[in-house]
Amino acid sequence: MLSSTNAITPGGYDRFRKYLQKVCGISLSDNKQYLVASRLGKLMEREGIDKIELLVDRLERGATASRLREEVINAMTTNETLWFRDTHPFTILKDRILPEFTKAPLRIWSAASSTGQEPYSISMVIEEFKASKPGALKAGEKIVATDICTNILKHAKQAEYDSLAIARGLGADMQRKYFDKINDSTWRVKPALTSRVEFRHLNLIESFSSLGKFDIIFCRNVLIYFTAETKQDILKRMHASLNPGGYLFLGGSEALSGLSSLFDIVQCHPGIVYRAK
């Protein structure tokens, strides 16, 4: 069993780091041996693998490589999220951006949807906007939500959350308005919200042109896990996926670098959003 960082040799860790970056873009720093040990220990024990080098061998050449790859990516993916995370992006969406799309079909992409809080928060914003602007968005709206983690996507599609998850960023009034109570500890997002959300499995380092064009992209708190080169490649391809004048939201600690020719910065006080040139 991979029970401690002592079980990870420098060479083995380096091999695993390179493999992980190759298959999903996640870039581990030099000192994440403990993270690897804690997240992969149970998987390796179940598979009868006691060294990280042997796991990489199986991932690259074994008969079960495809299944193991999915499980390793699921284990190594960080899925920290909450409702209306950081607040201001959703305020910007409702007050400044949605009014621009009242007459055309609206397509939004949540590019790292995790357990679903972001796309469902976006759907709530749309519902609130339509209530405040009767007749708005008559042409319809669609939210495409993607993530690399298959386990997380299954949870997101169910749209069911316990009381602890609900409390992370969501007020009681919104809970009553947009959720149906299943039992004393579980709530389900109402069909009016889930009906406009479509979940898909997607690896951002691979082509996403098949998703089509979007008016708005939320790609928040995921690019921090990639190298600078991979980040730039993803952002360039996201620009190509935006309609002219479309908007890109990034996380609070993320920013465009060297791509001013593709995006204009829109200051919103608080927060910023990027408009595709």
The single residue listed with the structure tokens 């997607």 is: 202
**Residue 83: inside a domain:** no
Q: State yes or no: pLDDT of 5 exceeds 80.
A: no
Structure tokens at 125: 């914003």
Angstrom distance (rounded) from CA 247 to CA 275: 5
Three-state secondary structure call for residue 130: helix
Q: Does 179 lie in the same domain as 103? A: yes
Angstrom distance (rounded) from CA 191 to CA 159: 9
Q: Taking the complete model, does pTM exceed 0.75, yes or no?
A: yes
Q: Does 253 lie in the same domain as 131? A: yes
pLDDT tens, residue by residue, 240-258: 999 999 999 999 889 887 8
Q: Do 193 and 130 touch, CB atoms closer than 8 A?
A: no
Q: Which range (10-24, 52-66, 145-159) has the least confidence?
A: 52-66
**CATH for 69:** 1.10.155.10
The single residue listed with the structure tokens 């873009």 is: 25
| Per-residue model confidence (pLDDT) at position 61 | 86
Q: State yes or no: pLDDT of 124 exceeds 70.
A: yes
**Any idea what DSSP says for residue 93?**
I
| Per-residue model confidence (pLDDT) at position 8 | 79
Q: Does 44 lie in the same domain as 123? A: no
Q: pLDDT category, 17, cuts 50, 70, 90?
A: very high
Q: State yes or no: pLDDT of 64 exceeds 80.
A: no
Q: What is the mean pLDDT of the chain?
A: 92
**CATH for 271:** 3.40.50.150
Q: Do 106 and 142 touch, CB atoms closer than 8 A?
A: yes
Structure tokens at 191: 């069909």
Q: Does 237 lie in the same domain as 147? A: yes
* C-alpha distance from residue 183 to each of 54, 69, 162, 169, 222 (Å): 45, 36, 9, 21, 33
- Domain range for 65 is 5-76
**Residue 178: inside a domain:** yes
